[in-house]
């Protein structure tokens, strides 16, 4: 081999070749690492995660009381409705430490109370709509799997002391003949029309519900979406509403007449990214938090919108889980601007039990790349 530079001794050629190969390997490894990193959604720069309530399946729904206390309404058993259990109320001053304060829906023998919607009445009372299942075999029907013999009629549960004591009105709306009981889900929200709004599903339809007496009685007013089930509604202001409905993915529906009619769907997540929750941040943006059950991506995600949900940012990673049995997030923003997102998970790193997890985080700045609209298939 001819050496073009006489200043480099022959004995150093092998060393230089190894160094060149090592440098190339480092560059290749760096490029591959960057490619892998680019595939994983970024996490907010400031984020803390907690195992907040252990040994519960939860499916939590948050509400902020008038004194700023954060209330979480959740199912108290570590199973998907296969044993007797209740819906409980836990509270926190900041989303980091939680205490059980009361039981909105204590179950009756051989039943379970688990499906729920929650929010505040106009007078400040905490409201919970709660359905469930019975383990009693129904007349003329074969015995089904545990606690799946029939859906229980919803209760209207109410507390005027911050979730400590509760009353239950057990006379909810009867379903259409042959349609099955209505099952509540998501937030209960006041509108500018003076009514309270909520969503239930039943008869293979997601319904908009209305209360004209501050949550005492309820009635269905319109079908939000055919074929959909668990749906979270959100008040945009005036007569405008958004609904994030579950089918194979999370799809958005809109109403411009206080829920009388709905238009959609607008896909907002990919398949198996479901059970979305909507919230308004102090800077005016909308926050969409949702569970991710895509293989290899399990956990909780979020997107941001600066145009009332017409377009959305790239997803943010709020939490990783070790199982697809996860999600159902609910989010509120603290006075200091930090966001509290609660969710459930069957297992997470170093914690192999059902639990309610909490992510406390800061939204990316309005002009940051993470907050830019997503240019992909889903707006």
pLDDT tens digit string along 312-336? 999 999 999 999 999 999 999 999 9
Measured over the CA atoms of residue 366, residue 370, residue 372 and residue 377, the dihedral's sign is: negative
Per-residue exposure over 317-336, b if at least 16 CB sit within 10 Å of its own CB, e if not: bbbbbbebbbbbbbbbbbee
- Is 161 a member of any domain? no
CA distance 299 to 315: 12
User: Distance between CA 208 and CA 20 in Å, rounded?
Assistant: 66
100: in domain:
no
Structural domain range at position 281:
268-379
Residues of the chain below pLDDT 70: 1-39, 374-379
Provide the pLDDT for residue 17. Answer: 38
**Other C-beta atoms lying within 10 Å of the C-beta of residue 371:** 19
pLDDT at 143: 96
Residues 6+ apart with CB under 8 A from 147: 81, 82, 83, 84, 111, 112, 133, 134, 135
- Total residues found in the chain within this entry: 379
Residue 23 lies in a domain: no
Helix (H) or strand (E) holding 34: helix 13-39
User: 84: closest CA among 93, 76, 74, 95?
Assistant: 76
Q: What is the pLDDT of residue 374?
A: 64
213: in domain: no
Output the pTM of the full model. Answer: 0.89
The pair phi, psi for residue 319, each rounded to 5°, is -160, 145
The CA–CA distances, whole Å, from 63 to 60, 163, 249 equal 10, 11, 25
For residue 120, being part of any structural domain is answered with no
Instruction: Say if 324 falls within a structural domain.
Output: yes
Tell me which residue of 220, 269, 262, 263 sits closest to 247, measured CA to CA.
269
Nearest CA to 274 out of 296, 292, 297, 254 is that of 292
User: What's the domain count of the chain?
Assistant: 1
Assigned domain for 1 exists: no
Asked whether residue 290 is assigned to any structural domain, the reply reads yes
Which three-class secondary structure string do you get for 190-230? ECCCCCEEEEEECCCEEEEEEECCCCCCCEEEEEEEECCCC
With residue 17 as reference, give the H or E element that holds it: helix 13-39
Please answer whether residues 198 and 218 qualify as being in contact, where contact means their C-beta atoms are separated by less than 8 angstroms. Answer: yes
């Amino acid at each position: 081999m001819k050496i073009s530079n006489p200043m480099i001794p022959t004995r150093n050629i092998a060393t230089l070749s190894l160094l060149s190969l090592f440098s190339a390997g480092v560059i290749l490894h760096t490029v591959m690492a960057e490619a892998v990193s680019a595939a994983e959604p970024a996490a907010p720069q400031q984020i803390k995660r907690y195992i907040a309530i252990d040994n519960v399946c939860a499916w939590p729904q948050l509400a902020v009381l008038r004194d700023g206390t954060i209330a979480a309404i959740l199912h108290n058993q570590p199973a998907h409705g296969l044993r007797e259990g209740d819906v409980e109320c836990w509270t926190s001053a900041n989303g980091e430490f939680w205490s059980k304060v009361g039981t909105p829906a204590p179950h009756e023998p051989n039943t379970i109370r688990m499906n729920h919607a929650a929010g505040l009445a106009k007078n400040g009372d905490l409201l919970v709509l709660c359905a469930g299942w019975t383990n009693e075999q129904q007349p003329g029907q074969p015995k089904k799997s545990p606690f799946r013999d029939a859906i229980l009629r919803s209760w209207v549960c109410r507390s005027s002391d911050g979730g400590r004591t509760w009353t239950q009105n057990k006379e909810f709306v009867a379903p259409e003949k042959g349609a099955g009981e209505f099952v509540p889900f998501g937030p209960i929200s006041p509108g500018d029309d003076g009514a309270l709004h909520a969503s239930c599903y039943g008869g293979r339809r997601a319904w908009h519900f209305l209360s004209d007496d501050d949550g005492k009685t309820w009635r269905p007013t319109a079908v939000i979406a055919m074929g959909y089930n668990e749906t979270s509604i959100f008040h945009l202001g005036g007569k405008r509403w958004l609904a994030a409905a579950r089918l194979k993915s999370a799809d958005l529906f809109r109403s411009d007449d206080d829920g009388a009619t709905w238009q959609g769907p607008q896909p907002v997540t990919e398949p198996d990214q479901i059970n979305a929750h909507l919230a308004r941040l102090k800077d005016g943006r909308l926050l969409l938090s949702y569970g991710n059950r895509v293989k290899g991506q399990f956990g909780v995600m979020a997107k941001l919108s600066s145009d009332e949900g017409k377009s959305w940012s790239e997803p943010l990673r709020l939490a990783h889980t070790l199982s697809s049995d996860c999600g159902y997030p609910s989010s509120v923003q603290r006075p200091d601007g930090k966001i509290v997102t609660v969710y459930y998970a069957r297992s997470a790193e170093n914690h192999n039990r059902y639990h309610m997890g909490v992510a406390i985080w800061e939204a990316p700045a309005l002009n940051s790349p993470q907050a830019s609209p997503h240019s992909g298939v889903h707006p």
